[in-house]
Amino acid sequence: MREGNAKILRTGALAVAGAVSLILFSMLQKKIMGVAITFTPRALVVPVLFGGSSGLLIGIWQERLHRAMQEIVALNQTLEAKVAERTASLEEATYELTILNENLQAQRNALERTNQELEAFSYSVSHDLRAPLRHINSYSNMLVDNFSASLSEEGQAYVQRICRATHRMEGLIDALLQFSRVARAQIVAEEVDLSELAQTALSMLSESDPERSVSIRIAEGLRARGDRRLLEIVLQNLLGNAWKYTVKREDALIAFDRTQIDGRSWFLVRDNGTGFDMKYAERLFQPFQRLHGQEYDGTGIGLATVKRIIERHGGEIRAEGRIDAGASFFFHLGNN
């Protein structure tokens, strides 16, 4: 009787142990290295002695542990492959970035050399070329002052033409220097009163030619953000052209205003002067391209300089005109 009780207790203990093992391993669902793993139980049948008769002992932990190790090994292999792949991609991207930086540095060095060459050119133009022009002009004036009585009218006319040519050449040198400086000048952005700059430019033009009667209309409160010195050059050129090409008009009109085009605000300089043929409009902004004859002074650099300044501000300029019906120049300064 006592022996039978002992067998029953042993059998019950084994059964309880097997059940607990089943419950614990069925709950073994967790993430190993970021991947969810679920173990599916499978019974291993082993014979055990049960008091002289065969019984079954459910053993599962050995198989589950084996399966877990296999999945961990597989996950590690997958992770190592991904790490290797991403490392290779990173190394390739780093190499490409290094090449790009080297190319950028080479371009920067080339730009610096170009700027140095431009500086040398500007120095040469401003000193080496001006000196002979000053000599030509000086000797021409000496001929007029000291030997005009000995010169025929034709000879005096030749000397005057020489003086005018040297003055024109000096003006051309000044324009070229300004054009080259504009390309290299650092832009110092600030709030600029364009109405004030326009008023100052036209006042200077009126003082230089007080005999002229010109109707001037400047809208108030025209402001923009940009480099004050460069924007002053823009208005001096545009308004100077308007002043020049209205010289033959008795009812000359020059205006500076703002208008809307396609939802964007544009500044506008217009006049009722000589105008131009629209089929040549693109030539207006090319260096040394002039649409009018020698009856109007100019170097052909002014509008090219204006275009460069406006483009350096992120803006755009365009022109409209008709022959003998005036011209209009529209420009904006990027996000202003």
- Residue 163: per-residue pLDDT: 85
Provide the pLDDT for residue 238: 95
What's the mean pLDDT in 262-286?
Answer: 87
**Residue scoring higher pLDDT (261 or 23):** 261
**β-pair partners for 261:** 264
Class of domain 187-332: alpha beta
**According to the model, what pLDDT value does residue 330 have?**
96
**Where do you find CATH 1.10.287 in the chain?**
105-182
Q: Model confidence at 221, in pLDDT bands (50, 70, 90)?
A: very high
Q: Mean pLDDT across the stretch 153-168? A: 84
Residue span(s) of the chain under CATH 3.30.565.10 come to 187-332
Mean pLDDT lowest among 28-37, 285-294, 296-305, 309-318: 28-37
Given a cut of 90, is residue 318 above it in pLDDT?
yes
Higher per-residue pLDDT: 33 or 287: 287
pLDDT at 28: 45
194 contacts 149 by C-beta, under 8 angstroms: no
Q: How far is Cα 136 from Cα 165, in angstroms, rounded to an integer?
A: 10
pTM of the model: 0.59
Of 169-178, 235-244, 277-286, the poorest mean pLDDT is in: 169-178
Highest-confidence range of 70-79, 249-258, 289-298, by mean pLDDT? 249-258
Closest CA to 240 of 278, 214, 220, 261: 214
* Higher pLDDT pick, 181 / 19: 181
Provide the β-strand partners of residue 332. 316
Q: Select 105-182's CATH number: 1.20.58, 1.10.287, 1.10.1660, 3.40.50.
A: 1.10.287
Is the pLDDT at 197 greater than 90? The verdict is yes
* Most distant pair of Cα atoms in the chain: their distance: 162
Looking at residue 120, its pLDDT comes to: 73
Using alpha carbons only, what angle is made at residue 33 by residues 29 and 38, rounded to the nearest 5 degrees? 20
Tokens of 207: 């003082």
Q: Degrees (nearest 5) of the Cα angle 102, 117, 186?
A: 75
Q: What is the pLDDT of residue 113?
A: 80
Averaged pLDDT, 70-94: 87
Is pLDDT of 10 > 70?
no
Higher pLDDT, 75 or 256: 256
Confidence at residue 51, expressed as pLDDT on a 0 to 100 scale: 42
* Residue-by-residue DSSP string for 94-136: HHHHHHHHHHHHHHHHHHHHHHHHHHHHHHIIIIIIHHHHHHH
CA angle, residues 15, 19, 23, in degrees to nearest 5 = 170
Give the per-residue pLDDT at 336: 57
Confidence of residue 242 (pLDDT cuts 50, 70, 90): very high
Look-up of token digits 């000291």? 146
Confidence at 285, pLDDT banded by 50, 70, 90: confident
Contacts of 208 (CB under 8 A, 6+ apart): none
In the predicted model, is pLDDT for residue 132 greater than 50? yes
Q: How far apart, in whole angstroms, are the C-alpha atoms of residue 305 and residue 230?
A: 10
Residue found by looking up tokens 């090409």 in the block? 245
Mean pLDDT score, 252-264? 92
